[in-house]
Structure 1
Amino acid sequence: MTVPVIRRGERMDAPIHVPVAIVGAGACGLTAALMLRDAGIDCVVLERDAVPSGSTALSSGFVPAPNTRVQKSKNIEDSPRRFAADIQAKAHGTAAPQLATAYAEAIGPAIDALQASHGLEFVLLDDFLYPGHSRHRMHAVPEKTGAGLMARLQQAAEAADVPVVTRALVRELWLNARDEILGIAYERPDGTLEQLACDALILACNGFGGNAAMVQQLLPEMKDATFAGHTGNDGSAIAWGRALGARLADLGGYQGHGSWAVPQGALVSWALMMEGAVQINALGQRFHNETLGYSEAAVQVLAQPGSVAWNVFDEALLTFARGFPDFCEAEAAGALKRCDNEAALAAQIGCDVGALHATLAAAVAPGAAAPDGRVFKRALQAPFYAVKVTGALFHTQGGLDIDAHCHVLHEDASPFKNLLAAGGAARGVSGNAVWGYLSGNGLLSAIAGGYIAARSAAKLLETKT
């Protein structure tokens, strides 16, 4: 974790000045940079890794957005208001209201701008609904992966001549007596510090999922869980906020996932669960309503014997699953087990065949509501397929508190004039618990937040001149 040195003074005599500096070259930082370019504003993106990647590249790359050109072409009726309502419904009304509204309104224009102005191609995933979404609004690049999304954002940044300085670890923040950012200093691989003055600073860096001590303190239920996110999520943004006297919020919010294949260490698409697959524990029983969400499923799976479960599905669902690259990678790694009948499936799981039969025959009866409220469309048919999974921590949803314009807030709720934050550095729209995470909230915060932060920075520069 990097805790920056805070330098105070009325001026910064840096050799280079840029209107906007951006820390972090993930989806948030690159979106902000591209939007600034569209506004004719110069910026520099600082990335501490040798190659930009971050949480975006490790995600499924699915971005929820209403009223996009792609969604309208499918004649799907949706609106930012409906989307914001879905966000709040999943979070039981605990999502930051100013951000839920602002992000729901900004994400559609952001996706359209990335497509129209920077050549990013988006497709709409309209063959299933992710948990909590009342409309088909999940967008993805054709590769349907986070790595594909990052590659296209990087290509767009290169085409737009956005300067991305890699291996640049921010070590110092310079402010005046009025808490206005004057600039930063970042460390290069040879240990030298380079100074950069700026008129506005956007923190688009990281969460704290990779910081074991912070996870143990703030997310104790996940202290022993596998961390499946990017190691760069070390809590630096929170440390910077504390050093600056910024307010923090929703530090108990995070995205878990209840479908992390073991021992392969691969994500298995939750779309399977939404289409009829089930999770079965070592006792041969279902133990939760799988359609409520993959984030809270992480906690449910970790509570089972051995902290594992088996994703169970059939041939028809296998064909469906093979349309998702993450599933194909898990299958290629050897995660998929074929079982010709219930006895073979019970042997694979290590459970009593009678208990398994009762689960498949009764709890998965089509048309009847299971005790947990789930209603199945059809019964699973042999041969069965199974993947052994555990619960994992993907990324955190708490961080610097921000207003609807992505201005970082002081402890007294007053905004820093020219310090902005979004994406993993800031609080998201998932509330303060694992169950508040609506599918796609992470990339929603990153892309919509980057879009809003860029517009706020541009407005600051207008008032400055």
Structure 2
Amino acid sequence: MDELARRTPSDGVAEVVSVDDIEWDIDTDVLVAGGGGTGLVAALAASENPDVRVTVLEKAPECGGNTSLSTGMVPAAGTRLQREAGIEETPADMARDILEKNDYEADEERVRYLCEESANLIHWLVDDWDVTLHIVDDFKYPKHSEYRMHAPEGRNGENLVAELVERVESTPNIELLTNAPVKRLVADDGAVRGVVAGLGHDEAIEAERVILATDGFAGNRGMVTDYCEEDVERALYFGADGNTGDGVRFGAELGGELACMDAYQGHATVASQTGMLSTYAVTMNGGILVNQDGERFGDESAGYSEFAISVLKQPGGQAIQLFDERIFERLRGQFEDFDEAIEQGTYHSDDSVADLAERLGADGERAAETVTDYNEAAAAGEPDEVGRVDGATPLEAPFYGTKVTGALFHTQGGLVVDEHGRVLRTDGSTVENLYAGGGTACGISGHGAGGYLSGNGLTTALGYGRLAGIHARESLD
């Protein structure tokens, strides 16, 4: 595992072996490399023909990957769940928000298609596979113009993964193996024929179709250094251990085109004391961030991904997240990770902003002045000193706070794929029999950190997973 975490596409290590150099041990129809959100959904989609044998190989001891570390909220437009809540919007509305966030740097055709398919994804999960999802209509993440998040119980990705794993394990024609890393692809004249996998003992598995669902490369510092901006190298890594860029390198060695490799999702509010995520719903319900001088340093509602860099650029790479009891009570019981953060002693409270800020290592007097200025602007409904309007609400005693730092969650660049999730070469041809989704595929966030709109990761994970599984299944008929 450590060796994989150090490899980069430029180091010349061969990760594709010729079919002439191996002897097959076993075979399957569809081989899914990775048991996170992409891989689990791809397996379910591929399995809908009971004659198709599907094998899922997850290199970690448990399935889930970054999906299990997320809120599990899946954005979708035009769903039945939205209509039942009185929300009317179109896929074009969702696509507009995504493209405006990344300044139209993402592939517009792919963005629009994933948005058009988003309602089908939700209905398929809920109706065909009995996955528990509900519409979130009590807050919006930055730059979402409508309530479109579809969340599992507890707004926790672990619960979504648990249901997907249960569905996979109860489907007769799917075999799921953990502690089973895919180490190399097997190819014949550029066409994928299978994989070599195994933790201790290698096995050559022949497969008609291979779906790369190994996520991105945020856990590979060499690749992060090669592709992403310098500041993010100092960020706390908050993603799954297995995100070492394996699938990205496999596909690239077969000529797969790489795009937007500098794109990633950061997060501005990981609690320094406990190492737990302090949900950004705190901020979007009215919370603010100040540095050790007690001063704000940007518009927090611009987005938690790019704001991670803003936090890292503060003295000590730290900031203080301040909010109040109204926000505390509103979120308690709604987010399992927020409840767990409370249990772990993440938050401190005080009737005085100054005393609270001092306790957390900031200039208390200046912090109190900052909150007063913020409250006045919020009460007037006017832009405050950093230009914020979205989610601005006056804060009242008692106050709550925690020290936070910026974190790297996952990368958003990868292999270019078509509308079916098939890996494409630079000339537009497909790498025969090879698919990719989620963090292994080029995402829809454009470049850098600022193009990330909350939910983009699961849009490509579950979206491409389903599309790849469908195409892999139907192409075998």
Task: Please indicate the TM-score interval, normalised by the length of the shorter structure.
Answer: over 0.9
Establish whether residue 83 from structure 1 lines up as the match of residue 97 from structure 2: no
The separation in 1 between residues aligned to 2:270 and 2:448, in whole angstroms, is 20
SS at match of 2:155: coil
CA shift in 2, pair 1:133/1:378, >3 Å: closer
**Matching residue of 2:177:** 165
Return the offset for 1:104. 0.9
Establish whether residue 212 from structure 1 lines up as the match of residue 221 from structure 2: yes
Return the offset for 1:360. 1.3
Identity score, percent: 37
The separation in 2 between residues aligned to 1:168 and 1:343, in whole angstroms, is 53
Q: Spell out, residue by residue over 1:58-101, the C-alpha distance to the aligned partner (whole angstroms, 9 max, x if none).
A: 11111111122222211211121111111101111111222211
- 373, 376, 387: which one pairs with 1:373? 387
Establish whether residue 229 from structure 1 lines up as the match of residue 239 from structure 2: yes
Return the offset for 1:357. 2.9
The separation in 2 between residues aligned to 1:38 and 1:321, in whole angstroms, is 38
Establish whether residue 92 from structure 1 lines up as the match of residue 103 from structure 2: yes
Q: Spell out, residue by residue over 1:215-257, the C-alpha distance to the aligned partner (whole angstroms, 9 max, x if none).
A: 2222222111100111111111222133222211111100100
- 123, 137, 143: which one pairs with 1:112? 123
Q: Spell out, residue by residue over 1:263-318, the C-alpha distance to the aligned partner (whole angstroms, 9 max, x if none).
A: 21100111111111111111111111111111111001111111111111111111
- After TM superposition, the runs of 4+ consecutive aligned structure 1 residues lying more than 6 A away are none
**Matching residue of 2:407:** 392
**Matching residue of 2:470:** 455
**Matching residue of 2:202:** 193
Q: How does 1:373-452 map to 2 (within 5 A)?
A: 373-375=387-389, 377-452=392-467
What amino acid is aligned across from residue 99 of structure 2 in structure 1?
Q
* Alignment check: 8 A CA contact 1:256 1:394 kept: yes
Return the offset for 1:103. 1.3
The separation in 2 between residues aligned to 1:75 and 1:207, in whole angstroms, is 37
TM, length-normalised to structure 2: 0.92
TM, length-normalised to structure 1: 0.95
SS at match of 1:435: coil
Q: Which segments of 5 or more consecutive residues in structure 1 lack a partner in the other structure?
A: none
Give the number of equivalent residue pairs. Answer: 459
**Matching residue of 2:373:** 362
- 139, 146, 164: which one pairs with 1:153? 164
Establish whether residue 181 from structure 1 lines up as the match of residue 196 from structure 2: no
* Alignment check: 8 A CA contact 2:267 2:307 kept: yes
* Alignment check: 8 A CA contact 1:22 1:203 kept: yes
Establish whether residue 31 from structure 1 lines up as the match of residue 45 from structure 2: no
Return the offset for 1:11. 10
The separation in 1 between residues aligned to 2:437 and 2:62, in whole angstroms, is 21
Q: Spell out, residue by residue over 1:345-371, the C-alpha distance to the aligned partner (whole angstroms, 9 max, x if none).
A: 232244444422321112332222113
The separation in 1 between residues aligned to 2:243 and 2:362, in whole angstroms, is 38
The separation in 1 between residues aligned to 2:250 and 2:15, in whole angstroms, is 9
Return the offset for 1:386. 0.6
SS at match of 1:310: strand
- 328, 340, 360: which one pairs with 1:329? 340
The separation in 1 between residues aligned to 2:243 and 2:418, in whole angstroms, is 23
Q: Spell out, residue by residue over 1:198-228, the C-alpha distance to the aligned partner (whole angstroms, 9 max, x if none).
A: 1111101121111112222222221111001
The separation in 1 between residues aligned to 2:476 and 2:21, in whole angstroms, is 18
**Matching residue of 1:289:** 299
* Alignment check: 8 A CA contact 1:255 1:396 kept: yes
Q: Which segments of 5 or more consecutive residues in structure 2 lack a partner in the other structure?
A: 5-12
The separation in 2 between residues aligned to 1:265 and 1:54, in whole angstroms, is 18
Q: How does 1:208-357 map to 2 (within 5 A)?
A: 208-219=217-228, 220-322=230-332, 323-357=334-368
